[in-house]
Amino acid sequence: MPVVIRENEFVLQPIKNSSFCLLRSHFPYKNSHSPLNMLGWIAQPTGGIITRQNFNPSMDFVRSGYHGRSDSTGGSTVYKIAVMPGDGTGPEVTAEAVKVLRVAADKFGFKTELTEFDFGGERYKRTGETLPDSAVEELRKFDAILLGAIGHPDVAPGILEKGILLKARFELDQYINLRPVKLFPGVETPIKDKGPEHIDFTVVRENTGDLYTGTGGFTMKGTPNEVAIQAAVYNRFQVDRCLKYAFNYARKHGKKARGKGSKNTLALSGKTNVLTYIYDLWERAFHEMGEKEFPEIAREYYHVDATCMWFVKNPEWFDVIVTGNMFGDIITDLGAMIQGGMGIAAGGNLNPEGVSMFEPIGGSAPKYTGQGVINPLAAICAMQMMLSSLGEEKAADAVEKAVMYVTANKLKSLAAGRMGYSTSQVGDLVAKQLA
């Protein structure tokens, strides 16, 4: 069937021997180099023209498409953002991130359409529901997800983490957990004699495999002979796609790319001396890919325990680090501390081909709930990472600069209750600096 393309129209292109159509548009969508951009797959076997009038956004997207598949009306892009404030102080910090997002949108000429979801501990207590399958399907339709915090003092550990956070990560196949460790000016680090010029690296944590797959079980549970097994699981595909992202990230954002060094470096953090299967696989894949596809990127290897040691002793050695899920979880908390603590540390759960989710990594901090004393900068920085992943690089840079201005010139401390300002005042300071 011929494909007709007209100005301002979407086109459904039927695919041979398939019950799906490709939804295309020839708008110059963000991050896409093709003149005819793929927006997604639609479960509708017939082709034809879809206009703005008959385009139904709830059409069944079987596979969400490309980055920046957002609507583009009258010249400005509209990003559909799912906002999940979550538990504890999550809503307070998310409100500040949204405040700054609105200012960024005004200033940089894009639009946002925010939809709030109330998944979290309160809803779980009320309904027994964590993140239902229907919600996962709903979330696939967004350009990005902004998350506050998950964790409730009245809910047993594991339920909300597994049921909401990990479920979203797994179901949306957010296979990268990106965690920049950057000391902003004016921020105190517990590491003596180190400043922003020493602490500026990024951890690329694999986010779908390893000890997080839930592979394992008990035998003879409750008896003195009880056995518990929890297995670290990786396949080559998972390792390769993570490495590819990390090498590309090093190429684009490494020290040389940022004008801060003579080369871009990717370091693998593993444990090849003990985990002789898993990290053997990682190490082989790392060097094979590096040699073949990224020869200009310097490769280093550190055991994970040594990584911790050098994070503290010589953080300036690091540029981009790639590691498995479990080690990544651990070393990024150490990273968060050396960049000034949970008040500032942000992360992105990325599916580079799908929907990504951004979060402050600090958790719900229940004891500070509702007092207006929690630091919203980590949530603002998560939103900043979201802008960057949506392709709004200028806005992302400006938000980062505004945060840096505030840390350098305004805040007394990044700790809850000791900032010298309330949560919303800190949001105002960043918003004002950005505007």
Q: List contacts with ligand IPM (CB under 6 A).
A: 161, 165-166, 329, 361
Q: Which one, 92 or 329, has the nearer CB to ligand IPM? A: 329
Q: Which option in Mn ion, ligand IPM, none does residue 395 bind, with CB closer than 5 to 8 A by kind?
A: none
Number of Cβ within 10 Å of residue 274's Cβ equals 11
Q: Give residues 110-169 in contact with Mn ion (rule: CB under 5 A).
A: none
Q: Sign (positive/negative) of CA torsion 405, 411, 417, 423?
A: negative
Distance CA 340, CA 345 (A): 8
Number of Cβ within 10 Å of residue 236's Cβ equals 11
Regarding 206 and contact with Mn ion (CB under 5 A), the answer is: no
Distance CA 380, CA 431 (A): 10
Q: Which one, 101 or 181, has the nearer CB to Mn ion? A: 181
Distance CA 360, CA 399 (A): 15
| Cα-based distances in Å from 385 to 115, 167, 376, 391 | 19, 21, 14, 10
Q: Which one, 11 or 232, has the nearer CB to Mn ion? A: 232
Q: Which one, 166 or 430, has the nearer CB to ligand IPM? A: 166
Q: Which option in ligand IPM, Mn ion, none does residue 138 bind, with CB closer than 5 to 8 A by kind?
A: none
Q: Which option in Mn ion, ligand IPM, none does residue 206 bind, with CB closer than 5 to 8 A by kind?
A: none
Read off the amino acid at residue 363. Answer: G
Torsion of CA 302, 303, 304, 309, to 10 degrees: -70
Minimum CB separation from ligand IPM for residue 408, in Å? 28
User: Of 206, 329, 392, 400, which lies in the binding site for Mn ion, with binding defined by CB under 5 A?
Assistant: 329
Q: Which option in Mn ion, ligand IPM, none does residue 11 bind, with CB closer than 5 to 8 A by kind?
A: none
Query: For Mn ion, which stretch binds (CB under 5 A), given 86-94, 123-131, 326-334, 370-378?
Result: 326-334
The CA R_g of the chain, rounded to the nearest whole Å, is 22
Give me the residue whose beta carbon is nearest to ligand IPM.
161
108 CB burial (10 A radius; 0-12, 13-18, 19+): middle
Q: Which one, 329 or 392, has the nearer CB to ligand IPM? A: 329
Minimum CB separation from ligand IPM for residue 156, in Å? 13
Q: Which option in ligand IPM, Mn ion, none does residue 166 bind, with CB closer than 5 to 8 A by kind?
A: ligand IPM
Number of Cβ within 10 Å of residue 284's Cβ equals 12
Q: Which option in Mn ion, ligand IPM, none does residue 161 bind, with CB closer than 5 to 8 A by kind?
A: ligand IPM
Helix (H) or strand (E) holding 301: strand 298-303
Q: Which one, 61 or 201, has the nearer CB to ligand IPM? A: 201
Minimum CB separation from ligand IPM for residue 375, in Å? 18
Q: Which one, 161 or 171, has the nearer CB to ligand IPM? A: 161
Q: Which one, 347 or 376, has the nearer CB to Mn ion? A: 347
Distance CA 32, CA 210 (A): 32
Minimum CB separation from ligand IPM for residue 165, in Å? 5
Judge contact between 118 and 360, C-beta under 8 A: no
Number of Cβ within 10 Å of residue 128's Cβ equals 7
Minimum CB separation from Mn ion for residue 347, in Å? 9
Q: Which one, 159 or 408, has the nearer CB to Mn ion? A: 159
Q: Which option in ligand IPM, Mn ion, none does residue 319 bind, with CB closer than 5 to 8 A by kind?
A: none
| Three-state secondary structure call for residue 404 | helix
Q: Which option in ligand IPM, Mn ion, none does residue 165 bind, with CB closer than 5 to 8 A by kind?
A: ligand IPM
Minimum CB separation from ligand IPM for residue 139, in Å? 17
Cα angle 418-423-425, degrees, rounded to a multiple of 5:
100
Alpha carbons within 13 angstroms on the beta-carbon side of residue 243 total 27
Binding interface with Mn ion (CB under 5 A):
329
